[in-house]
Amino acid sequence: MTEETIFSKIVRREIPAEILYQDDLVTSFRDIRPKAPSHILIVTNIPIPTVNDITADHEAGLGRLFTVAAKIARQEGIAEKGYRLIVNCNHHGGQEVFHLHMHLLGGKPLGPLVT
> Does the annotation count 92 as an active-site position?
no
Smallest separation, CB 115 to ligand AMP (Å) = 15
The residue (of 80 and 92) whose beta carbon lies closer to ligand AMP is 92
- Write out the DSSP string of 76-100: HT-TTT-EEEE---TTTTT--SSS-
Smallest separation, CB 81 to ligand AMP (Å) = 22
Q: Tell me the C-alpha distance between 54 and 101, whole Å.
A: 12
The residue (of 80 and 102) whose beta carbon lies closer to ligand AMP is 102
Q: How far is CA 14 from the centre of its chain?
A: 18
Tell me which residues touch ligand AMP (CB under 6 A): 6, 17, 29, 31-33, 41, 88, 94-97
Measured between alpha carbons, how far is residue 95 from residues 45, 79, 109 in Å? Answer: 18, 25, 23
Smallest separation, CB 90 to ligand AMP (Å) = 10
The catalytic site residues sit at 101
